[in-house]
Structure formats: structure tokens, C-alpha cells
Chains A and B, each alone.
Chain A
């Protein structure tokens, strides 16, 4: 089905699907929507949808009819977004939401940086908590801790001005000269290029350390010495 020629657009949301309906006669649009749902039954099965109807004015009976038809198809209508106050009122009358919350900031963030070479670094002035994953093609600098359960995957080096207790992968695209340094390096796991190390012990007296691959290609960490 070609979305371009269709007055209906479908977008995934955090808690359902957002269906935007273009302008036109309601009856036509409604049947077009139902047709599309019919064509992709398995996709819509059990879906929870928010409908953006633009400036369309909808009466209670129309909305009720649509809700029933959707629910016959195993779809629950959860919100109706509209520029028309009449439609909004109708939706509220039916106990539907008329606003959807803003999308949640993505937890696994990927940054696209092109053609900036080796000089690119991502600077994060916060503690990375369990479940957060940062992926970046260049270097990553964190001012804060990397807690257990957090992950950093960087194409370049990783510097942490804080404690590392999570997982860090430097030189993720195979750069064997990448390094990881931190004020306190007690990770659950470190990776540089294709090397994985899980044998780093928690430190009693944390001091700045730098981890890199030694001549044999093994991951090794050493205290940082001012030179």
C-alpha cells in the first residue's frame, strides 16, 4: 500500500499508533481507514491508536460509530487529536484523550556525525544510569559516573571523569589503539576493538587508570602517571 497516494499516515508512538487523517469527506476517509486496517489486519490487531483528524468536525455519533468499528477489529481508540473545539469536546465526552504526551527521549541514542574525522567527541555532563546506552562514532567524554547496567559504545576513546562501573566499548569499529580512562575504573566489562575483559576487580583505593591493548593485543589497565 502506497502511503503517498493515501490521505492516511501511520506513525508509531510510545504507547500506540498515531494515525493522521487528511482533509476530505469523513465517510470517505473513514472507509479508507478501515480498508487500510483490513489490508493490514495482523499489524493492527490489538493496536491502540490515537487519531489526528486535523480540522475535521466530528459529532458524537460519528466518533462512537468509528470507535465501535475499530473495536470490532480488535483496535482500541485511545485519543482523538483535533484542531476543532467541537471535535475535542466530542472526544472528551466519550472519555477519549485529546492530547498525547510528548515522545519519550530515546534511551539508546545514536548520533549521526559525518565527515568530521577523528576530532569529534560527545560530551555528556551527567551520570549514566542502568539501562542507558550511548552509541557514538567518535570519542565520548562523560563528566559523571557510568553506573552498572549502563553502556557506552564509542568508535574512538572514552574518558570518564568519574567512576566506571558499567560497560564501555572503545574503538568499537575495530580501532585497536583506542583507550578508556577514568578516575575510578571498576567496570563490569571493558571492550576495546574486539577484545573483551571482565577480570577487572573493584578497587579499594580508586585512582585514575587507563585501559588499552598491550603489545600482545590483550586488554590491560594501568594507573595513570603524570608524565
Chain B
């Protein structure tokens, strides 16, 4: 069994890379898959906080790469799901502590240990980004329905094309259906129209995501949450299942909804 390595990146900061990694990891792990997340944001580590594993860190990714510990020692086991692990970033170092070839080596080693490796990329298109995508089999580009985030996502997709990283998938995060309805926000169609890559998920804006992030309890664990469901759907699609997109705009008459459904495919 060889793991699939998936990198989450965005170009722009603050669009939800870390939250998405934590949630998709939780969703994949709840299907019984063995999942390992890697925090690629060396010097600004967050993923451990979002996953609620901050107080368990002993070794980090730089310790593994520089040979101070074995891979297994740096893999922190999640407190909720038995087959979910995190390799945290080093907080006291910077991006230059790791090179793209180190990441490839680490990825190859992890392939025998788990089924999925999710790498959280730092914002930007510099060294940290290069490190994060070096080992990836599949890149997920996440963006918000905002002009600036979409512009950066477009730049990142261009860089991925230049690196011949295959076709990235798109996640549109924090979509607010009522703002879209009032033409105050780009719609998913507007974003897709520009970026023209395969869409793998639309996550609605939901303040409970922030609550979950602060508590270290990813929203994908909550069965009733729409945003959680959206993340679970992304995980299902990564697993190769054909899951219909959520009906986010549940206002409007029956006829309007029917038209939207008919118009989508």
C-alpha cells in the first residue's frame, strides 16, 4: 500500500489552507484510512493548534530531516482518531531548514506508513511553497470568492503547470450564498470560469469553523455542520467517489432550485 501525497496551497494567506487540511484529514481518517498531515509552514506553525495537538509535540519535521529522531517519533497521534497523525513544523527555524529534496525523501518514507499524506503549504510562492509541492502527487488549490485570492490562486496554478505537477483541484472556501445572491461576492461559477480547473469542493462560510479552529476540534467531526459536510464530501471525492455538490442556496422556490440543479451539470 502506497500513500497518496496531497498538498494544499493557495498563494494568498488566510484563505483556509490549514483549516481545510485539518478537516479533510479528519474526514479521511474517519473513513478508516491512515492519514498523516505535515505542517509545511516552518517557523509559523498552526496545524497543531487547529488539530488540538499542540501540547503533544516533542519532535518536529526538522528533527526528522536532520536525523535527530525517527519518522515514527515525530508522528503525533490524534486524540480522537487512532489512525490520524501529524508531523508538526518547527517553530524556531525557518523555511530554509528544509529543501524540496528533503520533502521528497520524507514523502517516500511516509508512503509505506500511511494511506494519505496531507501537506499544508505556507502562503506565498517561495521556498516554503516549493518544499510543500515537491513531493505532491496531487495539489489542491484553495481560494476564497474574492478577487485577490482568486488572482493568487491563478498565479499558483500557473506555477504548478510550469512545474508539471499535474492538474490541481480547486476548493472554494467561505462562500456566502446570500452575498452571492446579492451580487456582493463572486459566485462559484465566476471563480471556476477564471481558474478553469476541476472543482472538488465548495465550503460555505460558517462561523462554527472558527470556533472549531480555536478549540482544536475540526468541524468535520460535527455531523450537523454544513461546512463539516462540505469537507467530508471533499474527502469522499478524493477517495474517488462521486458525491453531488451541496445545495448551499436553500432559499428561493422549488422551481429556482430545480433550475439550479439542472443548470449545474
Contact = CB atoms under 8 A, between A and B. Distances in A.
Interface stretch (A2-10, A142-150, A169-177): A142-150
A145 to B, nearest CB: 7
B146 interface: no
A128 B195 CA distance: 10
Contacts of A105: 162
A130 B196 contact: no
A45 B154 CA distance: 35
A11 interface: no
B154 A130 contact: yes
B189 interface: no
The secondary-structure label for the interface of chain A is: loop
A127 interface: yes
A130 B151 contact: yes
A13 to B, nearest CB: 13
B100 interface: yes
Contacts of B154: 129-131, 147-149
Nearest to A97: B101
Interface in A156-179: 165
A197 to B, nearest CB: 21
Number of chain B interface residues as a range: 20 to 34
Interface in B43-66: 66
A136 interface: no
Contacts of A213: none
Contacts of A165: 194
Contacts of B152: 130
- Counting chain A residues whose Cβ lies within 8 A of the other chain, the interface size class is 20 to 34
B99 A131 contact: no
Contact of B151 (A78, A79, A148): A148
Given A127-B196, A129-B155, A149-B151, A95 B67 contact: yes
B184 interface: no
A33 interface: no
A42 interface: no
A201 interface: no
Contacts of B161: 129
A133 to B, nearest CB: 11
B157 A97 contact: no
Given A149-B151, A149-B154, A101 B100 contact: yes
Contacts of B32: none
Interface string B216-239: 000000000000000000000000
Contacts of B101: 79, 97, 99, 101
Nearest to A131: B155
B99 A132 contact: no
A107 interface: yes
12 contacts: A15-B100, A95-B66, A104-B162, A129-B154, A130-B154, A130-B155, A131-B158, A147-B194, A148-B147, A148-B151, A149-B151, A165-B194
